[in-house]
Amino acid sequence: MLTECARVVRVAEGACWVEAAGAASCSACASGKGCGGGTIARLFGERRVPLRVRVPAGVAPAVADLVEIGMPASGVAGASLLAYLPLLAGLVVGAVTGSSFGGDGAAIAGAAGGLLLALSALRVLDAPARRLVGEPTVVRVVPPPP
């Protein structure tokens, strides 16, 4: 199971919304040896979007609590495939289709159209995909340091 600590920003029945520290606080990204997420965060500013996380029975987080959230590694791999594969396929299929109608301009327009179509499909398929690969879950409330 892959885990990450995050701060609770909102609580509702059966779920809570959390914000993780982000890539800029990752030591590998800060040293320039990571995946590049820290560089992107520095260039474009780090926007934090709260993530909805399921809360199991017996765990009771409150706003401002630090919680450990977890997701099975297979779920993370599956979510990555479901997120990136349709986008890549839409881009390639759109470019090939566009190039069959004309030159480079048509290929670029087709690639953009295919990418937008894939993004739309991902929005529609979000709920079924979450059921298929699973959702992140609060594992435990992290006690405050002494």
Say if residues 18 and 67 touch (Cβ distance below 8 Å): yes
Interval 87-135: pLDDT, tens: 999 999 999 999 999 889 999 999 999 999 999 998 888 878 777 887 8
For 7-18, b/e burial (b = at least 16 CB within 10 A) is bbeebeeeebbb
pTM of the predicted protein model: 0.61
φ, ψ for residue 22 (rounded to 5)?
100, 175
Does residue 22 have a pLDDT over 90? no
Rounded Cα distance between 95 and 143, Å, is: 52
Question: Which of the four pLDDT bands, split at 50, 70 and 90, describes residue 40?
Answer: low
- Alpha helices by DSSP H, listed for the chain, are 27-30, 37-44, 73-101, 104-124, 126-133
Predicted local distance difference test score (pLDDT) of residue 27: 61
Interval 55-95: pLDDT, tens: 888 888 888 889 998 888 888 888 888 889 999 999 999 99
Predicted local distance difference test score (pLDDT) of residue 126: 80
Say if residues 93 and 118 touch (Cβ distance below 8 Å): no
Does residue 37 have a pLDDT over 90? no
Task: Using alpha carbons, list the distances in angstroms from residue 33 to 9, 21, 37.
Answer: 31, 18, 10
Task: Using alpha carbons, list the distances in angstroms from residue 107 to 14, 36, 88, 104, 141.
Answer: 47, 29, 15, 5, 51
